[in-house]
């Protein structure tokens, strides 16, 4: 990011990470500082390259969905779901409504768990350990529910092509447990959020830093809560067919600062609770999986959906044997990164890390393409990869 | 139990080295130490980010090539006696990233399993392992540290 055309004297460069991979996530922040005010910021993310898009090439579809789930450990369900949506859209596979309800429910459960991780991380950066540990404690009730539904705390693998795994179907007793736990959680969570908002120390630390205007959010395509905290009313859930039966509000905030980003996420949890309640109470009867599909040749198909951090894209084609070709993933973080870099500019150095943390970067899933050339590594765009290596046929 | 073991037992420092997995294991490890439900801090097991004061190194994730040299450096800078715990299927055998049957065979971008890079004492399998398993793995690595001369 450059700060306009005018030339700015850079006094000093500060660099954080990943010299030490013991940072929670491996990334490097370069802050160009002038008299302790950040003039420019650069985020390098190329530390966790696994070549995950190439792994999909030539795998049978059902098998590739296992890898799709392991793109990210925080938003595992959403990657599995979106990978399934691609083939369901491309080959017109009908999904039973009961399966859609369970998928939506798991999605919202993981959204809550993900937002609570952010609170844990952000308040650890602020230095308030009580709030951080309390958010980890609150998160446990949803990790339990996810493991009751899917059998694993982190990788529930609920969706399969044409529906959900029969194991993840909700029984009457599980429904009762979910409703009870959600009520219990809401009460505790209300107390937690009230404490945060009424705490003058924490609020004065968060207010008025890391500004990201609505124009900038739209320009950088900062989706998800990061964009919504800048007053940009953009939520793909309002356009998705799966979310048609549910009633919820899109939370936006006009104040555009770090506080807004935390508050938007805090209020989104209540909307997620609403959706979970509706999904459990109105769960339609019927089968959970439609097995009458066959993998056949499919053109390049793309599916977009709203994850916890923004907009996610998966796209692939199937060849005549039903093997995957040219898998592409775009997670929300690459577009949000530019917004993070921009939001840091003009603030004191101490606020930079907090601003970046409040945008909720998830860097493991956004490192995907890289070429190493004479000791220097750089990121390639999709076009360059295709020009250099060709489409795999 | 001799005096050394008694004093060592009072402050076990655990360090997490993230080498490029999917974040799932790391959060479970941090959960195991920090979150009030699993809270091992009450048994004086503390999380640290400094290899020079660590006793147990927890490695998670496939070892991406950028992380090979830093991981060796971290291992060397931990003072003896030390224990290494590989957490998660990625660190134990490479998980879905390593062995593939598609067009490309084995994935050469990653260096998993971890014991090809540094010696490993305890392996905790699972994708992702539960925090209880992580705690059990750390406890299994402790006798090596406590009984060292």
Is residue A353 domain-resident? no
Question: Domain for residue A378, yes or no?
Answer: no
Name which of A59, A152, A364 is nearest B102 (Cβ-Cβ).
A59
Q: Is B61 left (phi over 0), alpha (psi -120 to 50) or beta?
A: left
Min Cα distance B7 → chain A (Å) is 26
Q: Is A262 among the domain residues?
A: yes
B22–A136: do the CB atoms touch at under 8 Å? no
A361 vs A51, A205, A339, A367, B53, CA distance in Å? Answer: 20, 20, 11, 12, 29
- In a domain, residue A325? The reply is yes
Distance from CA of A154 to the nearest CA of B (A): 6
| Contact assessment for residue A37 and residue A348, using Cβ atoms and an 8 Å cutoff | yes
B57: part of which helix (H) or strand (E)? strand B56-60
Residue of A nearest to B111 (CA): A50
Contact call for A21 and B71, based on CB within 8 A: yes
**Does residue A321 sit within a domain?**
yes
Query: A302: Cβ–Cβ under 8 A, 6 or more apart, which residues?
Result: A86, A313, A314, A315
Smallest Cα distance from B59 to chain A, Å: 10
Question: Residue A322, exposed/middle/buried by CB under 10 A (0-12, 13-18, 19+)?
Answer: middle
In B23-33, which positions are buried (b, 16+ CB within 10 angstroms) versus exposed (e)?
bbbbbbbbbbb
Chain B partners within 8 Å of A323 (Cβ): 102
Please check whether residue A185 touches B, CB under 8 A.
no
Residue A342 lies in a domain: no
Q: List pLDDT tens digits, range A259-268.
A: 999 999 999 9
Candidates A49, A132, A153; nearest CB to B128: A153
- Please report the domains of chain B, with CATH numbers, ordered by start residue: 3-146 (3.40.50.12280)
Q: How far is A81 from chain B (nearest CA, A)?
A: 17
pLDDT tens, per residue, chain A with 393 residues: 444 455 666 777 877 765 555 456 777 788 888 888 888 888 777 667 777 777 788 888 888 888 888 888 888 899 999 999 999 999 999 999 999 999 999 999 999 999 998 898 888 888 888 898 899 999 999 999 999 998 888 888 899 998 999 988 999 999 999 999 999 999 999 999 999 889 898 889 888 888 889 998 888 888 888 889 998 888 888 988 889 999 999 999 888 888 999 999 999 999 999 999 999 999 999 999 999 988 888 888 899 999 888 888 898 999 888 888 888 888 888 888 888 888 888 888 888 888 888 888 877 776 655 554 445 555 554 445 445 544 433
Backbone dihedral angles phi then psi of residue A321, each to the nearest 5 degrees: -90, 5
Residue A112 lies in a domain: yes
Whether the CB-CB separation of A313 and A303 falls below 8 Å is answered with yes
Q: Give the distance from CA A262 to its chain's centroid.
A: 15
Q: Is A284 left (phi over 0), alpha (psi -120 to 50) or beta?
A: beta
For residue A154, list chain B residues with Cβ-Cβ distance below 8 A: 24-25, 27-28, 127-128
| Interface mutation vs chain B, best among A135, A154, A361, most B CBs within 10 Å | A154
Long-range contacts of A39-43 (CB under 8 A, 24+ apart): A39/A3, A39/A8, A39/A10, A39/A345, A40/A1, A40/A2, A40/A3, A40/A8, A40/A10, A40/A345, A41/A1, A41/A340, A41/A341, A41/A342, A41/A344, A41/A345, A41/A352, A42/A1, A42/A341, A43/A337, A43/A340, A43/A341, A43/A356, A43/A361
B105: left (phi over 0), alpha (psi -120 to 50) or beta: left
Residue A347 lies in a domain: no
pTM confidence score: 0.89
Is B49–A22 a contact, with Cβ atoms under 8 angstroms apart?
yes
User: Closest Cα partner for A191 from A138, A147, A150?
Assistant: A138
Q: Does B88 touch chain A (CB under 8 A)?
A: no
**Interface contact A57-B95, CB threshold 8 A:** no
Q: Is A188 on the interface with B (CB under 8 A)?
A: no
Please tell me which residue of chain B has the smallest CA distance to A367.
Answer: B20
Q: Is A21 helix (H, G, I), strand (E, B) or coil?
A: coil
Domain count, chain A: 1
Query: Domain containing A184: what range?
Result: 52-334
Size of interface A-B (CB pairs under 8 A): 142
Q: Which two tokens stand for residue B27?
A: 């959060």
CATH of the domain at A294: 1.10.645.10
């Amino acid at each position: 990011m450059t700060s306009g055309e005018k030339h700015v004297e850079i006094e000093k460069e500060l660099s954080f990470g990943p010299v030490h991979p013991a940072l929670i996530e491996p990334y490097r922040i370069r802050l160009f500082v002038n008299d302790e005010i950040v003039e420019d910021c650069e985020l390098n993310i190329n530390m966790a390259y696994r070549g995950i898009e190439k792994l999909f090439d030539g795998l049978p579809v059902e098998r590739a969905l296992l890898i799709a789930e392991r793109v990210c450990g925080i938003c595992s369900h959403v990657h599995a779901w979106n990978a399934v949506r691609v083939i369901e859209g491309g080959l017109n596979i009908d999904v039973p409504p009961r399966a859609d309800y369970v998928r939506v429910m798991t999605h919202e459960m993981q959204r809550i768990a993900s937002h609570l991780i952010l609170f844990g991380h952000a308040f650890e950066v602020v230095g308030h350990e009580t709030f951080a540990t309390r958010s980890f404690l609150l998160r446990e009730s949803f990790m339990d529910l996810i493991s009751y539904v899917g059998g694993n705390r982190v990788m529930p693998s609920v969706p399969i092509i044409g529906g959900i795994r029969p194991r993840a179907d909700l029984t009457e007793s599980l429904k009762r447990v979910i409703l009870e736990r959600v009520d219990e959680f809401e009460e505790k969570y209300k107390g937690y959020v009230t404490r945060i908002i009424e705490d003058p120390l924490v609020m004065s630390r968060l207010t008025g830093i890391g500004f990201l205007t609505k124009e900038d959010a739209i320009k950088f395509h900062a989706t998800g809560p990061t964009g919504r905290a800048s007053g940009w009313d953009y939520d793909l859930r309002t356009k998705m067919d799966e979310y048609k039966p549910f009633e919820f509000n899109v939370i936006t905030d006009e104040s555009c600062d770090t506080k807004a980003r935390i508050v938007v996420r805090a209020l989104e949890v209540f909307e997620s609770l609403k959706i979970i309640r509706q999904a459990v109470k109105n769960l339609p009867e019927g089968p959970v999986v439609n097995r009458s599909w066959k993998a056949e040749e499919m053109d390049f198909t793309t599916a977009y959906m709203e994850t916890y951090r923004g907009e996610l894209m998966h796209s692939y084609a199937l060849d005549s044997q039903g093997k995957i070709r040219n898998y592409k993933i775009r997670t929300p973080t690459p577009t949000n990164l530019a917004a993070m870099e921009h939001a840091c500019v003009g603030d004191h150095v101490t606020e930079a890390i907090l601003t970046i943390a409040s945008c909720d970067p998830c860097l493991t899933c956004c490192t995907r393409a890289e070429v190493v050339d004479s000791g220097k590594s750089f990121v390639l765009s999709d076009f360059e990869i295709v020009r250099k290596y060709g489409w795999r046929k | 139990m001799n005096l050394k073991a008694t004093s060592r037992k009072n402050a076990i420092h655990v360090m997490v080295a993230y080498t490029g997995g999917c974040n799932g294991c790391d959060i479970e490890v941090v959960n195991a130490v920090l979150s009030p439900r699993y809270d091992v801090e009450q048994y004086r097991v503390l999380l640290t980010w400094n290899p020079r004061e660590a006793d147990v190194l927890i490695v998670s994730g496939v070892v991406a090539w950028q992380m090979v040299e830093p991981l060796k450096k971290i291992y060397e800078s931990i003072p003896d006696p030390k224990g290494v715990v590989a957490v998660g299927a990625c660190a134990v055998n490479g998980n879905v990233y390593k062995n593939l049957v598609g067009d490309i065979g084995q994935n050469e971008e990653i260096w998993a399993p971890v014991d090809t890079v540094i010696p490993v004492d305890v392996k905790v399998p699972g994708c992702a392992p539960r925090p209880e398993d992580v705690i059990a793995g750390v406890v299994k690595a402790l006798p090596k540290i406590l009984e060292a001369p």
